[in-house]
Structure 1
């Protein structure tokens, strides 16, 4: 009788610990969403202010232009070589297939397209967005594509620094179809433009 009572008490305590853990996870998730919402509201309010008020907060350049680029690409990619991106529109420079970052700050990134394997023996392929500077390279985002004709889709905000270059590479030879790649500077940090 005592062992059953102890077992029941142990189960009850275990259940209570699980409830506390679930509550902590819920509180943590709620706090993260509130912080994200606060950041988005801050960025929205800052972008809605008249340019005369924002001039001292966001010194992008003498003319208060928005830094952005939009790229459309269909073509071949070579294993380990940066995709030769060229800007369709926008004010951010692209040199040798690399997007040239000139402002420290937050960037909204959108990347959509289809990957078609050109080497039929390949079973998977990695599409990687790289950030490089004079001395280092770092992966910003990577998606593994397991089936040919697979769509890729990325929408995120990244913090990039002045003098960074952003490139796109594949781990195998492939055809990239209908790639749409946009990068928009959200600020409000200092630029070297």
Structure 2
């Protein structure tokens, strides 16, 4: 009889033990499912980022030197062995992309001069410097396609014949541009139109 009673006691506890065991299995299954979902999401996102090519906006820059100026116009020379993405035409730096440019201008003169960094005909200069012997200036300016950057240097000694030929020591002009997404940038291989802006 004792045996029958113990079986009856186990029968009453049986569903409760099964429920606790099933509950534990259900919780473990949910945790495993969430882990699998997170792993699958990670793998898909990683695969997607590998498939999408990283495209950065075009980066334009140039570094030119100038050692002499004649009749107000400086002669710009591209620094050798430095890869440039912009060009010099007729002693002017040609702007191909709209946007903000960081402009650095350095140099030392042997007499007092006025220096104007120009970008459009009949517009105010970007960097107007008056009666200077040395310059180390930095500015940011918005430039557009077809603008041309050029230097105009004039001397204060008008009677001196050498005032038309001005020597510059360590003259350097640097332009750096990071093209924001959506800004206009002229194709590099396309034909250029002449516009008489120099």
TM-score range, shorter chain: 0.5 to 0.7
Q: Which has the higher contact order (CA 8 A, sep 6+)?
A: 1
For structure 1, list consecutive stretches of 5 or more residues without a partner in the other structure: 1-50, 61-65, 118-123
Q: Using structure 1 for the length normalisation, give the TM-score.
A: 0.57
Distance in 1 between residues matched to 2:106 and 2:179, nearest whole Å: 23
Question: Quick one: which of 154, 167, 172 aligns to 2:137?
Answer: 154
Q: Using structure 2 for the length normalisation, give the TM-score.
A: 0.56
3-state SS in 2 of match to 1:190: coil
For structure 2, list consecutive stretches of 5 or more residues without a partner in the other structure: 1-51, 156-162, 188-198
Distance in 1 between residues matched to 2:53 and 2:101, nearest whole Å: 23
List, as ranges, runs of 4+ consecutive aligned residues in structure 1 with deviation greater than 3 Å: 51-55
Larger Rg: 2
Hey, what does 2:175 align to over in structure 1?
183
Distance 1:105 1:115, change over 3 A: same
Hey, what does 2:60 align to over in structure 1?
67
Distance in 1 between residues matched to 2:114 and 2:53, nearest whole Å: 45
RMSD (Å), alpha carbons:
2.1
Hey, what does 1:125 align to over in structure 2?
113
State the aligned residue count.
122
Hey, what does 2:131 align to over in structure 1?
145
Distance in 2 between residues matched to 1:103 and 1:87, nearest whole Å: 19
Distance in 2 between residues matched to 1:165 and 1:84, nearest whole Å: 14
Q: Deviations over 1:142-175 (max 9, x none)?
A: 11125xxx21011111100000000001122321
